[in-house]
Structure 1
Amino acid sequence: MQNNSKITPCLWFDDQAEAAAQFYTSIFRNSKIVHVSRYGDAGQEIHGKPAGAVMTVSFELDGQPFTALNGGPTFKFNEAISFQIFCDTQADVDDYWQKLSAGGDETAQQCGWLKDKYGVSWQIIPRILIELLNHPDAATSQKVTTTMLQMKKIEIDELKRVAAD
């Protein structure tokens, strides 16, 4: 399958690429698995995967292409890379938070960040947070920042309340 995007994130999994792609495409609207490729006999002495095992999964999340690779246990995800999801409503924040954090690392939840059950980091960001952090009144911006830093999941009403005080 040809991908016409110039930049496509590739996520390295041990052997959960297909399950992860199915998980992510079940969460985001306008998402789909595009293609699954499988390991053959060639190169088995290098990759160590049995013929027929999933090698890569091409998928789209709301139109954004991704590739998931079953590359083995060599590399692990960390917080140095995360995916941002911008939300217009608290209902969207709550929905993404609940679905993506299910089975994930609860100790990694801070300031709208979470780590899902595969170790991938996500930022669930209400668009209004960006507006309030860039508020023309520096005191308001500072109050919002202080409040946000105390949150795990971002609560829009609380940010608005602090900004209005």
Structure 2
Amino acid sequence: MGIVRPHLWFDDQAVPAAQFYASVIPRTTIHSVATAPPGTPGLAEGAEFIVELTIDGLRATFLNGGPHFTLDEAFSFVLDCQDQAEVDHYWDVLTADGGRPSQCGWLVDKFGVSWQVVPVQLDDVMSRPDAEGVARAMAVMLTMGKLDIDALEAAYAGR
């Protein structure tokens, strides 16, 4: 069987996006940047075309394909964070310079790529046996942009 991996279409920001992720996401490496051969629709010969990279161990391809298709929240990377400090760090880095926060831990970075910045504690809170506590935590989560572990725990506990 082959390898399943994401392929993201950018207008013209594939290389800067890959470079940015390599600078902020551990275990991210750019493997190659292919240039456009003659006759590539919408690109000059030799323009940056296809980027092969690994994002935190996940192989991916980024393509500069022009404005015909755009990225949206229907596709997102999930970034599991170990604690609130990590959530805060990645939230700040990924929303900087034109990124924008969304709801429930989602954001869109400056390249138009959607991310879910999620503390690993969220799965624990949402899978606990007290259904009313889970419902309270869910209700609070739905009001959040960046997720707050202490607030989720407090809601679960009824505080």
Q: Smaller-chain TM-score range?
A: over 0.9
TM-score normalised over the length of structure 2:
0.93
Partner of 1:68: 62
Q: Where does structure 1 lack aligned partners over 5 or more consecutive residues?
A: none
1:82-138: CA deviation from partner (whole Å, max 9, x where unpaired): 1111111111111111111113453x5111000111111110111111111121110
- Tell me the CA shift for residue 164 of structure 1: 2.4
Q: Which of 125, 128, 133 is the equivalent residue of 2:121?
A: 128
Could you tell me how far apart the structure 2 residues matched to 1:58 and 1:164 are? 46
Q: Which amino acid aligns with 1:132?
A: V
Is 1:95 matched with 2:86?
no
Q: Which of 4, 22, 28 is the equivalent residue of 1:7?
A: 4
Q: Which of 30, 50, 57 is the equivalent residue of 1:56?
A: 50
- SS of equivalent to 2:30: strand
Q: Where does structure 2 lack aligned partners over 5 or more consecutive residues?
A: none
Taking the TM superposition and a 5 Å limit, the aligned residue runs for 1:1-165 are 6-41=3-38, 43-44=39-40, 47-106=41-100, 108-165=101-158
Q: How many residues align?
A: 158
Q: Which amino acid aligns with 1:113?
A: W
- SS of equivalent to 2:97: coil
- SS of equivalent to 1:65: strand
- SS of equivalent to 1:103: helix
TM-score normalised over the length of structure 1:
0.90
Q: Is the 8 A contact 1:14 1:71 kept in 2?
A: yes
Could you tell me how far apart the structure 1 residues matched to 2:99 and 2:81 are? 22
User: RMSD value over aligned CA atoms?
Assistant: 1.5
Could you tell me how far apart the structure 2 residues matched to 1:118 and 1:37 are? 20
Q: Is the 8 A contact 1:104 1:119 kept in 2?
A: no
